[in-house]
Structure 1
Amino acid sequence: MELTAVGKRYGRGGRWILRDVQLAAGPGELVRIAGANGSGKSTLLRLVAGIERPSTGRVVRPGAAAYVPERFPPALPFDAASYLLRVGRVHGLSEAVARRRSGEWLDRFGIADRAGTPLSRLSKGTCQKVAVAQALIAEARVLLLDEAWTGLDPGARAVLDEAAAERAAAGGTVLFVDHDPARLAGRTSAAYLVGADGGLRPAQEPPEAVDPGGPVMEIEVDVPDGAPLPERLPGAPEATALGGTAVRLAVPAAHSDALLRSLLLGRPAVRVLAVRRREEER
């Protein structure tokens, strides 16, 4: 995905929201877009999604994009399950695959029991879970999350953290905006700041908030074809070769679930040999 000299303004004499934006992000990248309120972060994501056209420059995407908007319209004439099914079909999924993925994400967000409830009768938080699910079922090459964590309960936020990392681990390109500066800290591949002038410049990521003295999990895996594991995995695990195609990954326990999901759902395919808590330094 690449933006070249992209600018955006509304009307011939309007103020430039974005100006001369250069951005390149490849498969497996998880990218934070930061900036003050009204700086143009949401505009940038809409340009990448193809919802809006740039006033200048060019946007190139490697494939279809899935987008979670800053505001999700709940007053749609569907229940949660039928809405997700229709979105899945729009993304080109078969009916069977769309139904299966919809059910999986409703279950993962803990709202499977509300699959048949009209969107207009769902709480704001539950609607936001549906808004997130409609983008995740696509497994698109580009995933765009615009304040997608807002309105979610802590458990659902953790699920979305894992989902974003999993999509990147599976080869997707993920761009996200969130008001929490520590969101996905330690997992991102890059961060950018939209300035007051509408330009985009690299930004420094905050350190990962993990207790260095906390529990560590060791996950031993075998990669049958000997392919290298992705460079960036949830929790930035420490890898140790065990001989042959086996590898031991040591990761803070807080990230072990996300790491396992990334390994099992991503590429290359791996076989999990063992999962244990590290008791003593080897």
Structure 2
Amino acid sequence: MEVVVRLVGIHHTHASGIVALRGIDLVVDPAAPTVLRGPDGAGKTTLLRVAAGAVVPTAGEIEDPPAVVGYLPDRFPARTKLPPRRWLDHMTRVRGLDPDDTGERADELLEELGYGGADDEPMSELSRSDVQKIGLVQALVCDPDLVVLDEPWSGLDDDAADVLTRLLAERSGGLLLTDRTGTAAGLAGARLYRLRAGRLAAASDPDSVPLRTAPPPGSVMRLDLACAGDPRPVLESLPPARVEAAAPGRLTVRVPVPDSDAWLMAALAAGCAVRSVRPVRREADGTPAAPDTRSRTGVPRPSDRPARRPRGPGAPQW
């Protein structure tokens, strides 16, 4: 396995005396996005800063550090008076690259993310969404070996969030990020870790139970997708699934856990974008999730259609 970066025995104490990290061992490899979760103050942001090289840990070692890191901090310098283009050029030079070599790709990313701000106005006057898009572009445009993102979907509009999910799903190389939206868990092969009081989850720690990387056997995943136009024709080219909703621009389905990765890849290939992927272990009444009883297009089969109610005074006329 090609390792992008390995954190070994990482401890860190802030200047205030607060201990942020306590013996973290973590491997980030290009085959699987690494997703950190945990409550506020758990040490997630500090761990990302250490991995990105922005903070030198009090103790421990970072093995195989990548040559180029794309980093989106939790507090992007939105109040800077620099215009966006000059900021992007500056960050490119910081990484030892020529802005002329990355300018075209930066323009492409800004257009894909739906950036609506002006190139000549200070970043302090941009909307939160546009500032976040600038931050994402500076992290991704340099074709980094490792991308470190702190809540990358925060502040984005729905369309930009969908584009970001696709960009992260398509890229190669290491990916380490935090995410409160649950979107990152839907990235193919994502490995989820929880931090609590500066410690990485371990089975021996009763206060820090590791997150499951998959629901229990027999459960299903709910996939919420964005598809251009009417999604029903798209369904004809995808594996069978239980369709919860199919409306212009939106598609929600349930698929068995073993088939979810293949279904997502097929949906992406069909031009859909992933909004969220969440496990559905049981129905609301506590029974196991119901099996697929719908056709490929989501239309109930004749045997599944509800019986007609007798017509009468006050009865709905079907």
Q: Deviations over 1:195-215 (max 9, x none)?
A: 235334442246653279974
Matched, 1:106 2:110: yes
| Partner SS, residue 223 of structure 2 | coil
Cα distance between partner residues in 2 of 1:55 and 1:203:
27
One-letter identity of the residue aligned with 1:42:
T
- Which residue of the partner structure matches residue 72 of structure 1? 76
Which residues of 2 match residues 198-277 of structure 1 at below 5 A? 198-201=199-202, 202-205=210-213, 208-210=221-223, 215-216=234-235, 236-237=261-262, 251-252=266-267, 256=271
Q: Deviations over 1:106-126 (max 9, x none)?
A: 111122662333212211111
Matched, 1:87 2:102: no
Matched, 1:48 2:56: no
Q: 1:196 to 1:114 in 2, by over 3 A?
A: same
- Larger Rg, first or second structure (1 or 2): 2
What is the total number of aligned residue pairs between the two structures? 232
- Which residue of the partner structure matches residue 194 of structure 1? 195
Structure 1 unaligned blocks of 5 or more: 220-234, 239-248, 260-277
Q: Report the CA distance between 1:251 and its aligned residue.
A: 1.1
Q: 1:79 to 1:38 in 2, by over 3 A?
A: same
- Which residue of the partner structure matches residue 2 of structure 1? 6
Q: 1:149 to 1:253 in 2, by over 3 A?
A: closer
Mapped contact 2:153–2:181 kept (Cα < 8 A)? no
Cα distance between partner residues in 1 of 2:190 and 2:265:
20
Cα distance between partner residues in 1 of 2:270 and 2:75:
29
Structure 1 length normalisation: TM-score? 0.72
| Partner SS, residue 140 of structure 1 | coil
Cα distance between partner residues in 1 of 2:119 and 2:8:
42
Cα distance between partner residues in 2 of 1:96 and 1:236:
38
Q: 1:83 to 1:211 in 2, by over 3 A?
A: closer
Cα distance between partner residues in 2 of 1:106 and 1:250:
25
Structure 1 stretches of 4+ with a deviation exceeding 6 A read 211-214
| Partner SS, residue 145 of structure 1 | strand
One-letter identity of the residue aligned with 2:196:
G
Mapped contact 2:8–2:61 kept (Cα < 8 A)? yes
- Which residue of the partner structure matches residue 185 of structure 1? 186
One-letter identity of the residue aligned with 1:203:
L
Which residues of 2 match residues 13-24 of structure 1 at below 5 A? 14-24=17-27
Q: Deviations over 1:66-114 (max 9, x none)?
A: 1111111122232112211221222233232221122111111122662
Cα distance between partner residues in 2 of 1:40 and 1:9:
11
Structure 2 length normalisation: TM-score? 0.64
Q: 1:133 to 1:186 in 2, by over 3 A?
A: closer
One-letter identity of the residue aligned with 2:86:
S
| Partner SS, residue 62 of structure 1 | coil
Mapped contact 2:8–2:24 kept (Cα < 8 A)? yes
Percent of aligned pairs sharing the same letter: 29
Mapped contact 1:41–1:177 kept (Cα < 8 A)? yes
Q: Deviations over 1:114-140 (max 9, x none)?
A: 233321221111111111111011110
One-letter identity of the residue aligned with 1:251:
A
Which residues of 2 match residues 153-164 of structure 1 at below 5 A? 153-164=157-168
Q: 1:209 to 1:145 in 2, by over 3 A?
A: farther
One-letter identity of the residue aligned with 1:236:
D
Alignment counterpart, residue 140 of structure 1, candidates 137, 140, 144: 144
Alignment counterpart, residue 25 of structure 1, candidates 4, 23, 28: 28
One-letter identity of the residue aligned with 1:70:
D
- Which residue of the partner structure matches residue 274 of structure 1? none
| Partner SS, residue 266 of structure 2 | strand
Q: Report the CA distance between 1:25 and its aligned residue.
A: 1.7
Mapped contact 1:85–1:102 kept (Cα < 8 A)? no
Structure 2 unaligned blocks of 5 or more: 203-209, 216-220, 226-230, 239-259, 275-295, 298-318
Q: 1:57 to 1:46 in 2, by over 3 A?
A: same
Q: 1:132 to 1:186 in 2, by over 3 A?
A: closer
Q: 1:144 to 1:186 in 2, by over 3 A?
A: closer
